[in-house]
């Protein structure tokens, strides 16, 4: 058995460390860390010319953003760590290729009302 086959399975695919995918960055360049439930969508605009060539991971995320999708779903669909996905989304946002949809809560219930509704629901059981 060759030395390289001892530490990985045949079907595991290529082994690339997360820091190699992000160029060693651990935080988004714009400093804004997205929530797991933040919704991302492609803008339909081409990436900025100064962005250079997009990595396969950037292209994969951009393809998945054709419809609104959460950061957590992007991480699951790409099989990349959430931290890596956040950095790549920030890159695409700065290039203008994707946008983060800001959703305001539609219901302004107080915390006390929510807790009371939970208690009422439990009592009803």
Task: Flag whether 5 is in a domain.
Answer: no
Evaluate whether residue 91 is within a structural domain: yes
Q: Answer yes or no: pTM beyond 0.85.
A: no
Q: pLDDT higher for 36 or 112?
A: 36
pLDDT in tens, 1-47: 555 556 555 565 556 777 777 777 877 777 778 888 899 999 987 76
* Domain-located, residue 75: yes
Per-residue pLDDT band for 110 (boundaries 50, 70, 90) equals low
What total of structural domains would you count in the chain? 1
The CATH number that applies at residue 95 is 1.10.10
Give a yes or no: residue 10 inside a domain: no
Give me the pLDDT at residue 14, please. 58
Residue 33, CA distances (Å) to 55, 59, 83, 117 in order: 21, 21, 9, 32
* Of 5 and 117, the one with more pLDDT: 117
- What tens digit of pLDDT does each residue of 35-93 get? 888 999 999 877 666 556 778 899 999 999 999 999 999 999 999 999 999 999 998 99
Closest-CA residue to 96 (of 63, 57, 49)? 49
Q: Per the domain annotation, does 6 fall within a domain?
A: no
Question: For position 102, what pLDDT does the model report?
Answer: 73
Of the candidates 90, 48, 45, 98, the residue with the CA atom closest to the CA atom of residue 68: 98
Residue 118 lies in a domain: yes
| Domain that residue 83 falls in | 15-124
């Amino acid at each position: 058995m060759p030395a390289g086959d001892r530490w990985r399975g045949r079907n595991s695919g290529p082994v690339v460390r997360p820091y190699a995918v992000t160029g060693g960055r651990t935080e988004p360049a714009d400093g804004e860390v997205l929530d797991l439930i933040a919704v991302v969508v492609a803008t339909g605009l081409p990436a900025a010319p100064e962005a250079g060539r997009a990595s396969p991971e950037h292209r994969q995320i951009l393809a998945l953003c054709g419809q609104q999708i959460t950061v957590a779903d992007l991480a699951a669909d790409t099989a990349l760590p959430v931290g890596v996905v956040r950095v790549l989304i920030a890159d695409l946002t700065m290039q203008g290729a994707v946008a983060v949809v800001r959703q305001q809560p539609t219901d302004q219930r107080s915390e006390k009302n929510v807790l009371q509704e939970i208690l009422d629901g439990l009592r009803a059981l």
